[in-house]
Amino acid sequence: MEARLLSTVLGIVMVQVETAVQGLDLQKIAGFWREVGVASNQNLLLKTPKRLEALFLTLNGDELTVKAAYNSSGSCETENIVGSEMDVSGRFVFPGHREIHVIDTDYERYAILRLSLHWQGKDFHVLKYFTRSLEDEFAPGFWRFRELTADTGLYLVARHGGCAKLLKEVSFAPSALSPR
């Protein structure tokens, strides 16, 4: 009952927030993002040995390529996933019943994303807070993130791992940006 109530509250917050980002400039959201915070009423993500550290987003038409850097039990792993924009600006659907929706961003310092996943017959929703910087965690978006997640169950999991740094260095290297 409590989990269902929290999901309902989170859903209401998401409906209210979604209208605020309809003018999203998708080209400006592209680039490097380091994960700083996670909020979910499901603690499943806290128990995973494979933890996201950073994303590098690339847009090509209505497709979003997400290069994700994970720390998997001390080793860095990357994954490329290509999704398509849905009818709502800033919402992308990916294979495997996954979805990313840009909830809020100032493009330069922070982004708040809602990730949804349908797995084993259940829907999981997670709000994630990202910064462009490898060091700065308390950009203006942090307080917006806290406001959005006040009733959700806030799990801040700042990661200062080498996988985020490696993704940023590799993604901005001239050879990484060349067409293949």
Residue 37 pairs in a beta bridge with 129, 156
Q: What is the pLDDT of residue 149?
A: 83
Q: Comparing 7-16, 21-30, 149-158, which segment has the lowest mean pLDDT?
A: 7-16
What does the domain layout of the chain look like in residue ranges? 2-173
| Mean model confidence pLDDT for the chain | 77
In the chain, % of residues over pLDDT 70: 72
Which residue is associated with the tokens 């600006």? 89
**Per-residue model confidence (pLDDT) at position 173:** 63
Residue 128 has pLDDT above 70, yes or no: yes
To the question of pTM greater than 0.75 for the whole model, the response is yes
Q: Give the pLDDT confidence of 43-70 residue by residue, as tens digits.
A: 665 566 788 899 999 988 888 899 999 9
The domain 2-173 is placed in CATH, from the list 3.30.230.10, 1.20.140.10, 3.10.100.10, 2.40.128.20, at 2.40.128.20
Residues whose CB falls within 8 Å of the CB of residue 92, separated by 6 or more in sequence, listed in order: 64, 83, 84, 85, 86, 99, 100, 101
Q: List pLDDT tens digits, range 76-93.
A: 999 999 999 887 778 889
DSSP string, 160-173: --HHHHHHHHHHHS
Encode 58-125 in three state secondary structure: EEECCEEEEEEEEEECCEEEEEEEEEEECCCCCEEEECCCEEEEEEEECCCCEEEEEEEEEECCEEEE
pLDDT in tens, 135-153: 876 667 888 888 888 877 6
